[in-house]
Structure 1
Amino acid sequence: MPQQFTKANYHTLCDELAALDADFAWVIEQYSYPPFWSRPNTFESLVHIILEQQVSLASALSALNKLRERVGEITPAKVLPLTDAEMRECYCSRQKTAYIKYLAEAIIAGQINLAAFEQMEDADIRSQLTALKGIGNWTVDVYVMFALQHTDVLPIGDLAIVNAIKLLKSLPKDTPREELIAIGETWKPYRTIASMLLWHFYLQSRKPKSKG
Protein backbone atom coordinates (compact mmCIF):
# COMPACT_ATOMS: atom_id res chain seq x y z
CA MET A 1 0.00 0.00 0.00
CA PRO A 2 1.37 3.48 -0.83
CA GLN A 3 2.79 5.60 1.96
CA GLN A 4 0.37 8.13 3.46
CA PHE A 5 0.83 11.45 5.16
CA THR A 6 -1.11 12.33 8.30
CA LYS A 7 -1.55 15.36 10.54
CA ALA A 8 1.02 13.75 12.85
CA ASN A 9 3.82 13.49 10.26
CA TYR A 10 2.92 16.37 7.90
CA HIS A 11 5.31 19.00 9.26
CA THR A 12 8.11 16.42 9.60
CA LEU A 13 7.75 15.54 5.90
CA CYS A 14 7.74 19.26 5.01
CA ASP A 15 10.98 19.60 6.99
CA GLU A 16 12.53 16.62 5.18
CA LEU A 17 11.79 18.29 1.85
CA ALA A 18 13.15 21.60 3.15
CA ALA A 19 16.41 19.81 4.03
CA LEU A 20 16.49 18.37 0.51
CA ASP A 21 15.56 21.55 -1.39
CA ALA A 22 16.53 24.99 -0.06
CA ASP A 23 13.68 26.63 -1.97
CA PHE A 24 11.17 24.76 0.20
CA ALA A 25 13.06 25.82 3.32
CA TRP A 26 12.61 29.41 2.11
CA VAL A 27 8.85 28.86 1.50
CA ILE A 28 8.38 27.56 5.06
CA GLU A 29 10.47 30.40 6.47
CA GLN A 30 8.50 33.03 4.50
CA TYR A 31 4.97 31.62 4.72
CA SER A 32 5.07 28.90 7.40
CA TYR A 33 3.77 25.37 6.72
CA PRO A 34 1.03 24.77 4.16
CA PRO A 35 -2.45 23.96 5.45
CA PHE A 36 -3.23 20.28 5.93
CA TRP A 37 -5.47 19.96 2.88
CA SER A 38 -7.58 16.79 2.95
CA ARG A 39 -11.04 15.53 2.04
CA PRO A 40 -12.98 12.43 3.05
CA ASN A 41 -12.88 9.43 0.70
CA THR A 42 -16.45 9.84 -0.55
CA PHE A 43 -18.48 10.20 -3.74
CA GLU A 44 -19.09 13.83 -2.72
CA SER A 45 -15.34 14.52 -2.66
CA LEU A 46 -14.95 13.14 -6.18
CA VAL A 47 -17.94 15.19 -7.36
CA HIS A 48 -16.26 18.26 -5.84
CA ILE A 49 -13.03 17.54 -7.76
CA ILE A 50 -14.97 17.04 -11.02
CA LEU A 51 -16.66 20.41 -10.42
CA GLU A 52 -13.21 21.98 -9.91
CA GLN A 53 -12.01 20.92 -13.37
CA GLN A 54 -10.95 24.06 -15.29
CA VAL A 55 -12.91 26.53 -13.14
CA SER A 56 -12.15 28.59 -10.04
CA LEU A 57 -12.30 26.86 -6.65
CA ALA A 58 -14.97 29.36 -5.57
CA SER A 59 -17.35 28.57 -8.45
CA ALA A 60 -16.85 24.82 -7.93
CA LEU A 61 -17.68 25.19 -4.23
CA SER A 62 -20.83 27.20 -4.96
CA ALA A 63 -22.01 24.42 -7.32
CA LEU A 64 -21.25 21.81 -4.65
CA ASN A 65 -23.17 23.80 -2.04
CA LYS A 66 -26.15 24.16 -4.40
CA LEU A 67 -26.16 20.37 -4.88
CA ARG A 68 -26.01 19.92 -1.10
CA GLU A 69 -28.96 22.29 -0.66
CA ARG A 70 -30.99 20.22 -3.11
CA VAL A 71 -30.18 16.65 -2.00
CA GLY A 72 -28.50 16.91 1.42
CA GLU A 73 -25.61 14.47 1.54
CA ILE A 74 -24.37 14.01 -2.02
CA THR A 75 -24.59 10.28 -2.82
CA PRO A 76 -24.92 8.36 -6.11
CA ALA A 77 -28.52 7.36 -5.31
CA LYS A 78 -29.54 10.98 -4.66
CA VAL A 79 -27.79 12.49 -7.69
CA LEU A 80 -28.87 10.01 -10.38
CA PRO A 81 -32.61 10.92 -10.35
CA LEU A 82 -31.89 14.65 -10.85
CA THR A 83 -32.79 15.96 -14.30
CA ASP A 84 -30.34 17.94 -16.42
CA ALA A 85 -32.42 21.06 -15.66
CA GLU A 86 -32.17 20.43 -11.91
CA MET A 87 -28.41 19.90 -12.20
CA ARG A 88 -28.15 23.11 -14.22
CA GLU A 89 -29.92 24.97 -11.40
CA CYS A 90 -27.05 23.70 -9.21
CA TYR A 91 -24.56 25.38 -11.60
CA CYS A 92 -23.50 22.04 -13.15
CA SER A 93 -22.75 22.23 -16.88
CA ARG A 94 -24.21 19.57 -19.16
CA GLN A 95 -20.76 18.02 -19.51
CA LYS A 96 -20.06 17.86 -15.78
CA THR A 97 -23.57 16.56 -15.11
CA ALA A 98 -22.79 13.66 -17.44
CA TYR A 99 -19.42 13.00 -15.73
CA ILE A 100 -21.00 13.01 -12.26
CA LYS A 101 -23.72 10.61 -13.37
CA TYR A 102 -21.24 8.24 -15.07
CA LEU A 103 -19.38 8.08 -11.76
CA ALA A 104 -22.60 7.56 -9.76
CA GLU A 105 -23.63 4.71 -12.08
CA ALA A 106 -20.18 3.08 -11.82
CA ILE A 107 -20.32 3.17 -8.01
CA ILE A 108 -23.88 1.80 -7.85
CA ALA A 109 -22.92 -0.98 -10.32
CA GLY A 110 -19.92 -1.90 -8.15
CA GLN A 111 -17.49 -1.06 -10.96
CA ILE A 112 -15.86 1.54 -8.67
CA ASN A 113 -15.34 0.89 -4.95
CA LEU A 114 -13.91 3.90 -3.14
CA ALA A 115 -13.25 1.98 0.10
CA ALA A 116 -11.23 -0.62 -1.84
CA PHE A 117 -9.04 2.19 -3.23
CA GLU A 118 -7.64 2.66 0.29
CA GLN A 119 -5.69 -0.58 -0.09
CA MET A 120 -4.65 -0.11 -3.74
CA GLU A 121 -1.64 1.23 -5.61
CA ASP A 122 -1.92 4.57 -7.42
CA ALA A 123 -1.57 3.00 -10.89
CA ASP A 124 -4.50 0.62 -10.30
CA ILE A 125 -6.70 3.42 -8.95
CA ARG A 126 -5.76 5.57 -11.93
CA SER A 127 -6.61 2.88 -14.50
CA GLN A 128 -10.05 2.29 -12.92
CA LEU A 129 -11.00 5.94 -12.58
CA THR A 130 -9.67 7.18 -15.94
CA ALA A 131 -11.75 4.46 -17.63
CA LEU A 132 -14.75 6.65 -16.75
CA LYS A 133 -15.62 9.48 -19.11
CA GLY A 134 -14.75 12.87 -17.65
CA ILE A 135 -12.10 11.64 -15.20
CA GLY A 136 -8.55 12.35 -16.30
CA ASN A 137 -5.16 12.34 -14.61
CA TRP A 138 -5.62 15.69 -12.84
CA THR A 139 -8.85 14.52 -11.17
CA VAL A 140 -7.19 11.27 -10.08
CA ASP A 141 -4.11 13.12 -8.80
CA VAL A 142 -6.18 15.46 -6.61
CA TYR A 143 -8.35 12.58 -5.33
CA VAL A 144 -5.34 10.40 -4.45
CA MET A 145 -3.60 13.34 -2.75
CA PHE A 146 -6.54 14.79 -0.79
CA ALA A 147 -8.85 11.82 -0.13
CA LEU A 148 -6.31 8.98 0.16
CA GLN A 149 -3.36 11.12 1.33
CA HIS A 150 -0.72 9.28 -0.67
CA THR A 151 2.64 10.99 -0.32
CA ASP A 152 4.10 10.79 -3.82
CA VAL A 153 1.89 12.49 -6.44
CA LEU A 154 2.87 15.47 -8.58
CA PRO A 155 -0.17 16.82 -10.50
CA ILE A 156 1.78 18.15 -13.48
CA GLY A 157 -1.53 18.94 -15.24
CA ASP A 158 -2.27 21.58 -12.59
CA LEU A 159 -1.53 25.09 -13.85
CA ALA A 160 -0.86 26.51 -10.38
CA ILE A 161 1.72 23.76 -9.70
CA VAL A 162 3.44 24.38 -13.05
CA ASN A 163 3.53 28.14 -12.47
CA ALA A 164 4.72 27.70 -8.88
CA ILE A 165 7.67 25.51 -9.94
CA LYS A 166 8.70 28.05 -12.58
CA LEU A 167 8.36 30.94 -10.13
CA LEU A 168 10.15 29.21 -7.24
CA LYS A 169 12.98 27.92 -9.45
CA SER A 170 13.22 31.15 -11.53
CA LEU A 171 12.61 29.22 -14.74
CA PRO A 172 11.55 30.75 -18.06
CA LYS A 173 7.84 30.63 -18.92
CA ASP A 174 8.47 28.27 -21.84
CA THR A 175 10.27 25.65 -19.71
CA PRO A 176 9.17 22.26 -21.10
CA ARG A 177 6.96 19.96 -19.06
CA GLU A 178 9.68 17.25 -19.13
CA GLU A 179 12.06 19.55 -17.26
CA LEU A 180 9.44 20.24 -14.57
CA ILE A 181 8.79 16.49 -14.19
CA ALA A 182 12.57 15.91 -13.85
CA ILE A 183 12.71 18.52 -11.05
CA GLY A 184 9.80 16.70 -9.41
CA GLU A 185 11.76 13.45 -9.49
CA THR A 186 14.19 14.97 -6.97
CA TRP A 187 11.31 15.27 -4.46
CA LYS A 188 10.46 11.55 -4.44
CA PRO A 189 8.96 9.89 -2.40
CA TYR A 190 7.22 13.06 -1.13
CA ARG A 191 5.98 14.75 -4.29
CA THR A 192 2.53 15.28 -2.75
CA ILE A 193 4.09 17.22 0.12
CA ALA A 194 6.12 19.20 -2.42
CA SER A 195 2.87 19.96 -4.25
CA MET A 196 1.25 21.20 -1.03
CA LEU A 197 4.24 23.50 -0.48
CA LEU A 198 4.04 24.70 -4.09
CA TRP A 199 0.30 25.46 -3.87
CA HIS A 200 0.87 27.24 -0.56
CA PHE A 201 3.73 29.29 -2.04
CA TYR A 202 1.66 30.13 -5.14
CA LEU A 203 -1.39 31.26 -3.14
CA GLN A 204 0.64 33.26 -0.62
CA SER A 205 2.87 34.94 -3.22
CA ARG A 206 -0.20 36.16 -5.13
CA LYS A 207 -1.74 37.86 -2.08
CA PRO A 208 -1.50 41.67 -2.18
CA LYS A 209 1.29 43.00 0.00
CA SER A 210 0.00 44.77 3.10
CA LYS A 211 1.08 48.40 3.44
CA GLY A 212 2.76 49.55 6.56
Structure 2
Amino acid sequence: MSSSTLPLAALSPTKRTRSSTSSPAAATSSLSSALVVPPAFVTPAKKKTRTTKAKSPTSTSPPRALTTPDDFAGPILASSTSTPATLLPATLSWDLEVAKAHLVAHDPRFEAMFEKWEPTVYMEDLEVDAFRSLVHSLLGQQISWLAARSITHRFIRLFYPTLLPPLHDPLLASTYAHLFPTPAQILALPAATRLETLRGAGLSGRKAEYVVNLAEKFESGELSTKMLLDFEDDEELKETLLALKGVGPWTVNMFSMFSLRRPNILPVGDLGVQKGLLKHTLSAHSVPSSSSSTTALLPSGLTLAQLQTRLKTKAKGNVYLTPKECEELTEGWKPYRTLGSWYLWKIAGTEGEE
Protein backbone atom coordinates (compact mmCIF):
# COMPACT_ATOMS: atom_id res chain seq x y z
CA MET A 1 0.00 0.00 0.00
CA SER A 2 1.29 3.35 -0.71
CA SER A 3 -1.07 5.14 1.45
CA SER A 4 -0.91 4.45 4.98
CA THR A 5 -1.11 1.19 5.87
CA LEU A 6 -1.77 -1.09 8.32
CA PRO A 7 -2.52 -2.90 5.91
CA LEU A 8 -5.57 -3.99 4.23
CA ALA A 9 -3.94 -7.09 4.60
CA ALA A 10 -7.08 -8.30 5.86
CA LEU A 11 -7.44 -11.08 8.18
CA SER A 12 -10.68 -11.58 9.67
CA PRO A 13 -10.43 -13.71 12.67
CA THR A 14 -12.72 -15.36 15.05
CA LYS A 15 -11.63 -14.00 18.39
CA ARG A 16 -11.34 -15.92 21.62
CA THR A 17 -9.89 -14.64 24.84
CA ARG A 18 -6.60 -16.29 25.58
CA SER A 19 -4.35 -16.68 28.55
CA SER A 20 -1.20 -14.62 28.41
CA THR A 21 0.76 -17.39 30.00
CA SER A 22 0.65 -19.82 27.11
CA SER A 23 3.84 -21.61 26.18
CA PRO A 24 6.29 -19.72 23.96
CA ALA A 25 6.65 -21.20 20.44
CA ALA A 26 4.40 -13.07 13.29
CA ALA A 27 3.24 -3.34 -1.12
CA THR A 28 5.50 -2.28 -3.50
CA SER A 29 9.06 -1.11 -3.16
CA SER A 30 8.18 2.55 -3.66
CA LEU A 31 6.82 4.46 -0.70
CA SER A 32 3.81 6.74 -0.68
CA SER A 33 2.50 9.06 1.97
CA ALA A 34 -1.10 7.89 1.78
CA LEU A 35 -2.50 5.90 4.65
CA VAL A 36 -3.90 2.47 4.06
CA VAL A 37 -5.08 -0.14 6.39
CA PRO A 38 -6.86 -3.40 5.79
CA PRO A 39 -10.19 -3.88 7.51
CA ALA A 40 -10.28 -6.72 9.91
CA PHE A 41 -13.55 -8.48 10.24
CA VAL A 42 -13.65 -10.05 13.61
CA THR A 43 -16.39 -12.30 14.87
CA PRO A 44 -16.50 -12.76 18.63
CA ALA A 45 -16.58 -16.32 19.84
CA LYS A 46 -17.63 -17.66 23.21
CA LYS A 47 -15.56 -15.93 25.85
CA LYS A 48 -13.25 -17.86 28.12
CA THR A 49 -12.03 -16.79 31.51
CA ARG A 50 -8.89 -14.70 31.17
CA THR A 51 -5.92 -15.72 33.24
CA THR A 52 -3.59 -12.91 32.19
CA LYS A 53 -2.05 -10.90 34.97
CA ALA A 54 -2.52 -7.72 33.02
CA LYS A 55 -5.47 -5.61 34.16
CA SER A 56 -8.15 -5.03 31.57
CA PRO A 57 -10.08 -1.87 32.40
CA THR A 58 -13.77 -2.04 31.65
CA SER A 59 -14.65 0.17 28.71
CA THR A 60 -17.99 1.88 28.36
CA SER A 61 -17.13 3.57 25.09
CA PRO A 62 -18.78 2.47 21.83
CA PRO A 63 -16.95 0.08 19.48
CA ARG A 64 -13.97 1.78 17.91
CA ALA A 65 -13.77 2.49 14.21
CA LEU A 66 -11.69 0.28 11.96
CA THR A 67 -8.73 2.61 11.60
CA THR A 68 -5.72 0.85 13.04
CA PRO A 69 -3.27 -1.60 11.54
CA ASP A 70 -4.78 -4.58 13.23
CA ASP A 71 -8.19 -3.47 12.05
CA PHE A 72 -7.09 -4.20 8.59
CA ALA A 73 -5.36 -7.39 9.21
CA GLY A 74 -6.97 -10.41 10.57
CA PRO A 75 -8.72 -13.62 9.71
CA ILE A 76 -12.17 -13.57 8.21
CA LEU A 77 -15.21 -15.78 8.35
CA ALA A 78 -16.57 -17.41 5.23
CA SER A 79 -20.05 -16.71 3.95
CA SER A 80 -22.71 -19.10 5.18
CA THR A 81 -24.26 -19.03 1.71
CA SER A 82 -21.25 -20.50 -0.09
CA THR A 83 -18.61 -23.14 0.43
CA PRO A 84 -17.00 -22.21 3.76
CA ALA A 85 -13.47 -20.84 3.69
CA THR A 86 -10.76 -22.79 5.42
CA LEU A 87 -10.33 -21.31 8.89
CA LEU A 88 -7.44 -22.47 11.02
CA PRO A 89 -6.33 -21.31 14.47
CA ALA A 90 -3.44 -18.88 14.56
CA THR A 91 -2.44 -19.44 18.16
CA LEU A 92 0.02 -16.95 19.59
CA SER A 93 3.30 -18.82 19.70
CA TRP A 94 4.99 -16.39 22.08
CA ASP A 95 4.17 -15.27 25.60
CA LEU A 96 2.79 -11.73 25.65
CA GLU A 97 3.86 -11.03 29.23
CA VAL A 98 7.40 -12.24 28.54
CA ALA A 99 7.51 -9.98 25.47
CA LYS A 100 6.32 -7.00 27.52
CA ALA A 101 8.92 -7.63 30.22
CA HIS A 102 11.65 -7.89 27.59
CA LEU A 103 10.74 -4.54 26.01
CA VAL A 104 10.45 -2.80 29.40
CA ALA A 105 13.86 -4.14 30.44
CA HIS A 106 15.33 -2.60 27.30
CA ASP A 107 13.31 0.62 27.46
CA PRO A 108 11.29 1.43 30.63
CA ARG A 109 9.08 3.81 28.65
CA PHE A 110 7.23 0.81 27.28
CA GLU A 111 5.64 0.27 30.68
CA ALA A 112 3.59 3.47 30.37
CA MET A 113 2.58 2.50 26.84
CA PHE A 114 1.36 -0.90 28.01
CA GLU A 115 -0.81 0.87 30.57
CA LYS A 116 -2.21 3.29 27.99
CA TRP A 117 -2.85 0.90 25.10
CA GLU A 118 -3.73 -2.79 25.38
CA PRO A 119 -2.47 -4.87 22.43
CA THR A 120 -5.81 -6.64 22.08
CA VAL A 121 -4.86 -8.07 18.68
CA TYR A 122 -2.33 -10.25 20.53
CA MET A 123 -4.56 -11.04 23.51
CA GLU A 124 -7.04 -13.23 21.66
CA ASP A 125 -6.84 -16.47 19.75
CA LEU A 126 -7.74 -16.08 16.08
CA GLU A 127 -8.85 -18.23 13.21
CA VAL A 128 -7.32 -17.30 9.88
CA ASP A 129 -8.46 -17.41 6.26
CA ALA A 130 -5.20 -16.61 4.47
CA PHE A 131 -6.91 -16.02 1.12
CA ARG A 132 -9.17 -13.33 2.49
CA SER A 133 -6.34 -11.70 4.40
CA LEU A 134 -4.11 -11.48 1.34
CA VAL A 135 -6.91 -10.21 -0.91
CA HIS A 136 -7.64 -7.43 1.56
CA SER A 137 -3.98 -6.50 1.43
CA LEU A 138 -3.93 -6.44 -2.36
CA LEU A 139 -7.06 -4.29 -2.56
CA GLY A 140 -5.63 -1.74 -0.15
CA GLN A 141 -2.31 -1.17 -1.88
CA GLN A 142 -1.41 2.33 -3.02
CA ILE A 143 -4.63 3.99 -1.82
CA SER A 144 -5.97 5.57 1.35
CA TRP A 145 -7.65 3.32 3.88
CA LEU A 146 -10.98 5.06 3.21
CA ALA A 147 -10.73 4.28 -0.50
CA ALA A 148 -9.60 0.75 0.31
CA ARG A 149 -12.61 0.20 2.57
CA SER A 150 -14.98 1.42 -0.13
CA ILE A 151 -13.45 -0.72 -2.88
CA THR A 152 -13.36 -3.80 -0.65
CA HIS A 153 -17.07 -3.34 0.09
CA ARG A 154 -17.90 -3.02 -3.60
CA PHE A 155 -15.77 -6.06 -4.39
CA ILE A 156 -17.61 -8.22 -1.84
CA ARG A 157 -20.96 -6.87 -3.04
CA LEU A 158 -20.28 -8.28 -6.51
CA PHE A 159 -20.89 -11.70 -4.98
CA TYR A 160 -23.56 -10.77 -2.41
CA PRO A 161 -25.54 -7.94 -4.05
CA THR A 162 -28.72 -8.59 -2.06
CA LEU A 163 -27.02 -9.01 1.32
CA LEU A 164 -24.84 -5.91 1.40
CA PRO A 165 -26.01 -2.29 1.20
CA PRO A 166 -24.80 -0.25 -1.79
CA LEU A 167 -22.37 1.70 0.40
CA HIS A 168 -20.25 0.63 3.36
CA ASP A 169 -21.97 1.49 6.63
CA PRO A 170 -19.70 1.34 9.72
CA LEU A 171 -22.73 0.97 11.98
CA LEU A 172 -23.91 -2.12 10.12
CA ALA A 173 -20.52 -3.56 9.13
CA SER A 174 -20.54 -6.21 11.84
CA THR A 175 -23.76 -7.70 10.46
CA TYR A 176 -22.18 -8.58 7.12
CA ALA A 177 -18.52 -8.91 8.10
CA HIS A 178 -18.73 -12.68 7.61
CA LEU A 179 -19.32 -12.31 3.86
CA PHE A 180 -16.37 -12.71 1.53
CA PRO A 181 -15.99 -14.52 -1.80
CA THR A 182 -14.04 -17.76 -1.92
CA PRO A 183 -11.47 -18.51 -4.65
CA ALA A 184 -14.05 -20.71 -6.36
CA GLN A 185 -16.60 -17.89 -6.46
CA ILE A 186 -14.11 -15.52 -8.07
CA LEU A 187 -13.06 -18.09 -10.65
CA ALA A 188 -16.74 -18.84 -11.38
CA LEU A 189 -17.06 -15.39 -12.96
CA PRO A 190 -17.11 -15.76 -16.79
CA ALA A 191 -13.47 -15.87 -17.89
CA ALA A 192 -14.04 -13.54 -20.84
CA THR A 193 -15.35 -10.73 -18.66
CA ARG A 194 -13.85 -11.63 -15.26
CA LEU A 195 -11.28 -8.85 -15.10
CA GLU A 196 -13.75 -6.29 -16.41
CA THR A 197 -16.28 -7.34 -13.76
CA LEU A 198 -13.72 -6.88 -10.99
CA ARG A 199 -12.69 -3.50 -12.38
CA GLY A 200 -16.33 -2.51 -12.12
CA ALA A 201 -15.93 -2.71 -8.33
CA GLY A 202 -13.12 -0.16 -8.46
CA LEU A 203 -10.11 -2.45 -8.78
CA SER A 204 -7.37 -1.38 -11.15
CA GLY A 205 -6.57 -3.73 -14.01
CA ARG A 206 -3.43 -4.88 -12.21
CA LYS A 207 -5.22 -5.54 -8.92
CA ALA A 208 -7.92 -7.50 -10.71
CA GLU A 209 -5.20 -9.71 -12.21
CA TYR A 210 -3.54 -10.12 -8.80
CA VAL A 211 -6.79 -11.23 -7.15
CA VAL A 212 -7.57 -13.74 -9.92
CA ASN A 213 -4.03 -15.12 -9.78
CA LEU A 214 -4.27 -15.52 -6.00
CA ALA A 215 -7.64 -17.26 -6.35
CA GLU A 216 -6.10 -19.71 -8.84
CA LYS A 217 -3.22 -20.49 -6.45
CA PHE A 218 -5.58 -21.28 -3.58
CA GLU A 219 -8.17 -23.13 -5.65
CA SER A 220 -5.50 -25.38 -7.20
CA GLY A 221 -4.02 -26.20 -3.79
CA GLU A 222 -0.69 -24.60 -4.60
CA LEU A 223 -1.34 -22.37 -1.60
CA SER A 224 -3.46 -22.91 1.50
CA THR A 225 -3.98 -21.40 4.91
CA LYS A 226 -2.44 -24.47 6.54
CA MET A 227 0.64 -24.30 4.34
CA LEU A 228 1.28 -20.66 5.27
CA LEU A 229 0.65 -21.25 8.97
CA ASP A 230 3.03 -24.21 8.97
CA PHE A 231 6.07 -22.24 7.81
CA GLU A 232 8.57 -22.13 10.65
CA ASP A 233 11.16 -19.93 8.97
CA ASP A 234 10.24 -16.26 8.40
CA GLU A 235 12.53 -15.95 5.37
CA GLU A 236 11.05 -19.02 3.69
CA LEU A 237 7.55 -17.65 4.26
CA LYS A 238 8.64 -14.30 2.86
CA GLU A 239 10.05 -15.87 -0.29
CA THR A 240 6.85 -17.83 -0.89
CA LEU A 241 4.63 -14.75 -0.53
CA LEU A 242 6.87 -12.46 -2.56
CA ALA A 243 6.61 -14.90 -5.45
CA LEU A 244 2.90 -14.02 -5.72
CA LYS A 245 1.88 -11.34 -8.19
CA GLY A 246 1.27 -8.03 -6.48
CA VAL A 247 2.64 -9.05 -3.08
CA GLY A 248 5.48 -6.88 -1.79
CA PRO A 249 7.45 -6.65 1.46
CA TRP A 250 4.82 -4.52 3.20
CA THR A 251 2.04 -7.03 2.52
CA VAL A 252 4.28 -9.84 3.75
CA ASN A 253 4.97 -7.96 6.98
CA MET A 254 1.30 -7.16 7.62
CA PHE A 255 0.27 -10.76 6.98
CA SER A 256 3.04 -12.04 9.22
CA MET A 257 2.22 -9.60 12.04
CA PHE A 258 -1.57 -9.74 12.10
CA SER A 259 -2.58 -13.04 10.52
CA LEU A 260 0.26 -15.35 11.48
CA ARG A 261 1.28 -13.15 14.42
CA ARG A 262 4.99 -13.88 14.14
CA PRO A 263 6.95 -12.45 17.10
CA ASN A 264 9.87 -10.63 15.47
CA ILE A 265 8.51 -8.61 12.54
CA LEU A 266 9.69 -5.05 11.92
CA PRO A 267 8.00 -3.40 8.88
CA VAL A 268 10.83 -1.03 8.01
CA GLY A 269 9.05 0.15 4.85
CA ASP A 270 5.96 1.39 6.70
CA LEU A 271 5.95 5.17 7.15
CA GLY A 272 3.85 4.92 10.30
CA VAL A 273 6.41 2.64 11.92
CA GLN A 274 9.25 4.90 10.79
CA LYS A 275 7.56 8.03 12.13
CA GLY A 276 6.68 6.38 15.44
CA LEU A 277 10.24 5.14 15.90
CA LEU A 278 11.63 8.57 15.05
CA LYS A 279 9.36 10.28 17.60
CA HIS A 280 10.12 7.60 20.18
CA THR A 281 13.86 8.09 19.70
CA LEU A 282 13.66 11.86 19.85
CA SER A 283 11.52 11.80 23.00
CA ALA A 284 14.28 9.92 24.82
CA HIS A 285 16.53 12.94 24.34
CA SER A 286 13.98 15.63 25.11
CA VAL A 287 14.31 15.32 28.91
CA PRO A 288 17.59 14.54 30.71
CA SER A 289 17.50 11.09 32.26
CA SER A 290 19.78 9.34 34.70
CA SER A 291 18.81 6.01 33.24
CA SER A 292 21.09 4.97 30.43
CA SER A 293 18.60 2.29 29.44
CA THR A 294 15.98 4.97 28.73
CA THR A 295 18.13 7.22 26.56
CA ALA A 296 18.02 5.76 23.07
CA LEU A 297 21.19 5.72 21.07
CA LEU A 298 21.20 7.64 17.82
CA PRO A 299 21.63 5.87 14.48
CA SER A 300 25.25 5.68 13.36
CA GLY A 301 26.45 8.88 11.72
CA LEU A 302 23.42 11.00 12.65
CA THR A 303 23.12 13.86 15.13
CA LEU A 304 20.07 14.73 17.20
CA ALA A 305 19.57 17.89 15.12
CA GLN A 306 19.58 15.89 11.90
CA LEU A 307 16.97 13.51 13.27
CA GLN A 308 14.76 16.39 14.41
CA THR A 309 14.63 17.77 10.87
CA ARG A 310 13.30 14.40 9.62
CA LEU A 311 9.89 15.09 11.19
CA LYS A 312 9.37 17.91 8.69
CA THR A 313 11.65 16.94 5.85
CA LYS A 314 11.99 13.23 5.13
CA ALA A 315 15.28 11.70 4.14
CA LYS A 316 16.19 10.65 0.61
CA GLY A 317 13.68 8.09 -0.59
CA ASN A 318 10.79 9.85 1.19
CA VAL A 319 11.40 8.06 4.48
CA TYR A 320 11.58 9.18 8.09
CA LEU A 321 14.18 6.51 8.83
CA THR A 322 16.02 4.15 6.51
CA PRO A 323 15.65 0.38 6.92
CA LYS A 324 19.16 0.23 8.36
CA GLU A 325 18.37 2.95 10.91
CA CYS A 326 15.16 1.17 11.94
CA GLU A 327 17.01 -2.10 12.40
CA GLU A 328 19.72 -0.42 14.44
CA LEU A 329 17.31 1.43 16.75
CA THR A 330 15.27 -1.71 17.51
CA GLU A 331 18.11 -4.20 17.85
CA GLY A 332 17.44 -4.53 21.57
CA TRP A 333 13.75 -5.35 20.96
CA LYS A 334 14.56 -8.72 19.43
CA PRO A 335 12.99 -11.26 19.46
CA TYR A 336 9.77 -9.31 20.11
CA ARG A 337 9.87 -6.52 17.54
CA THR A 338 6.30 -7.31 16.42
CA LEU A 339 4.89 -6.03 19.70
CA GLY A 340 7.19 -3.01 19.70
CA SER A 341 6.19 -2.19 16.12
CA TRP A 342 2.50 -2.25 17.03
CA TYR A 343 3.16 0.48 19.58
CA LEU A 344 5.05 2.58 17.06
CA TRP A 345 1.81 3.06 15.12
CA LYS A 346 0.23 4.30 18.33
CA ILE A 347 3.09 6.74 18.93
CA ALA A 348 2.89 8.00 15.34
CA GLY A 349 -0.86 8.49 15.60
CA THR A 350 -1.46 6.90 12.22
CA GLU A 351 -2.97 3.73 10.83
CA GLY A 352 0.30 2.94 9.19
CA GLU A 353 1.78 4.21 5.98
CA GLU A 354 3.40 2.13 3.34
Which residue matches 2:108?
22
Distance 1:7 1:131 in 2: 26
Structure 1: stretches of 5+ with no match in the other structure: 206-212
Structure 2: stretches of 5+ with no match in the other structure: 1-23, 27-90, 160-178, 283-306, 316-320
Which residue matches 2:135?
47
Distance 1:133 1:87 in 2: 16
How far off its partner does 1:57 sit? 2.2
What is the aligned length? 203
Query: Pairwise mapping of residues 1-212 of structure 1 onto structure 2 (< 5 A)?
Result: 3=25, 6=92, 9-10=95-96, 13-29=99-115, 31-36=116-121, 40-71=128-159, 72-82=179-189, 83-120=194-231, 121-170=233-282, 171-172=307-308, 173=310, 174=315, 175-203=321-349
Distance 1:53 1:27 in 2: 29
- The normalised TM-score by structure 2 is 0.52
Distance 1:185 1:7 in 2: 21
**Residues 149 and 176 of structure 1, relative CA distance in 2, 3 Å threshold:** closer
**Residues 51 and 18 of structure 1, relative CA distance in 2, 3 Å threshold:** farther
**Residues 9 and 62 of structure 1, relative CA distance in 2, 3 Å threshold:** farther
Native 8 Å contact 2:25 2:94 kept in 1: no
- Structure 1 counterpart of 2:228, one-letter code: F
**Residues 50 and 143 of structure 1, relative CA distance in 2, 3 Å threshold:** same
How far off its partner does 1:39 sit? 7.3
How far off its partner does 1:96 sit? 1.2
How far off its partner does 1:15 sit? 4.3
- The normalised TM-score by structure 1 is 0.82
**Residues 200 and 107 of structure 1, relative CA distance in 2, 3 Å threshold:** same
Secondary structure of the structure 2 residue equivalent to 1:112 = coil
Native 8 Å contact 1:47 1:100 kept in 2: yes
Native 8 Å contact 1:84 1:94 kept in 2: yes
Secondary structure of the structure 2 residue equivalent to 1:134 = coil
How far off its partner does 1:131 sit? 0.9
How far off its partner does 1:198 sit? 0.9
How far off its partner does 1:138 sit? 0.9
Between 80-89 and 152-161, report the one with greater CA deviation. Answer: 80-89
How far off its partner does 1:41 sit? 3.3
Native 8 Å contact 1:79 1:101 kept in 2: yes
Native 8 Å contact 1:43 1:74 kept in 2: no
- Structure 1 counterpart of 2:276, one-letter code: A
Q: Identity percentage over the alignment? A: 30
Native 8 Å contact 2:241 2:247 kept in 1: yes
Native 8 Å contact 1:19 1:25 kept in 2: no
Native 8 Å contact 1:48 1:61 kept in 2: no
Higher helix proportion, which one?
1
Native 8 Å contact 1:151 1:193 kept in 2: yes
**Residues 204 and 86 of structure 1, relative CA distance in 2, 3 Å threshold:** closer
